[in-house]
Amino acid sequence: MSSSNFNDNAVKSSFFLYKNVTSQYNDSKTLNAVRKLVPDDTQKDSLESLLKWFKGFMHWMPANLVCGNCNSGTNNAKDAGFMQRKIEIGDSWKIPKTEVYTCNLCGAMQYFPRHNEILKISNSRTGRCGEWSILFGAVLNSLSYQSRIVQDYLDHCWNEVMSDGRWVHVDSTLDYPISLDHPHYYEKSWGKKYLYVLSFSSYRVEDVTQRYTQDWQSVLLRRQDLKETESGTQLGSISDLQDLYCSIKIS
Question: x-or-dash pattern for Zn ion, window 166-205, by CB under 5 A?
Answer: ----------------------------------------
> Does 157 participate in catalysis according to the annotation?
no
**Cα end-to-end span (Å), the chain:** 33
Side chain identity at 104, as an amino acid letter?
N
Candidate list 21, 38, 67, 197; residue touching Zn ion; CB under 5 A: 67
Shortest separation between residue 221's beta carbon and Zn ion, angstroms: 48
> Does 171 participate in catalysis according to the annotation?
yes
How many CA within 13 A on the CB side of residue 142? 23
103 binds Zn ion (CB under 5 A): yes
**Among the options 115, 129, 157, 169, which is catalytic?**
129
Candidate list 3, 69, 146, 189; residue touching Zn ion; CB under 5 A: 69
Closer residue to Zn ion (CB): 101 or 158 = 101
What is each CA distance from 93 to 89, 116, 202, in whole angstroms?
A: 10, 7, 15
Candidate list 10, 33, 100, 106; residue touching Zn ion; CB under 5 A: 106
Shortest separation between residue 69's beta carbon and Zn ion, angstroms: 4
Of 97-105, 156-164, 186-194, 224-232: span binding Zn ion (CB under 5 A):
97-105
Residue 211 and residue 167 in contact, taking contact as beta carbons nearer than 8 Å: yes
> Does 115 participate in catalysis according to the annotation?
no
**Among the options 103, 156, 157, 169, which is catalytic?**
156
108 binds Zn ion (CB under 5 A): yes
Report the DSSP beta bridge partners of residue 160. Answer: 148, 169
- The count of chain residues that interact with Zn ion, using the rule CB under 5 A, is 7
Using alpha carbons, select from 84, 93, 89 the residue that is nearest to residue 16: 93
Backbone angles phi, psi at 87, to 5 degrees: -110, 125
- Residue 17 burial class via C-beta count within 10 angstroms: exposed 0-12, middle 13-18, buried 19 and up: buried
Using alpha carbons, select from 138, 159, 146, 175 the residue that is nearest to residue 212: 159
Active site residues: 129, 156, 171
List of residues contacting Zn ion (CB under 5 A): 67, 69-70, 103, 105-106, 108
